[in-house]
Amino acid sequence: MAVLEAISPHLARGSVVAFDQFAHPKRPGETLACMAALKFGNLRLRRVPFLPNPAYFIVE
């Protein structure tokens, strides 16, 4: 979570932030950290179509 808090003020439009285990049922840490550190409601989370857990968002 510290990393997300540190980088969020520096994310410019077009920045891509990716997570390798987002919404993983056995490893909820990335999901919880993302929701706590970032304004999750303002993000459009995108998924990698052929993999179950990787996800990313592009800063708009």
Tens digits of per-residue pLDDT, 1-60?
788 888 888 988 899 988 888 878 888 888 888 777 776 556 788 888 898 888 888 888
Note the pLDDT of residue 55.
86
Q: Which domain holds residue 20?
A: 2-58
Counted domains in the chain: 1
pLDDT at residue 8, rounded to an integer: 83
pTM of the shown model: 0.71
Rounded Cα gap, residues 22 and 47, in angstroms: 9
pLDDT given at position 39: 64
Q: Please answer whether residues 59 and 13 qualify as being in contact, where contact means their C-beta atoms are separated by less than 8 angstroms.
A: yes
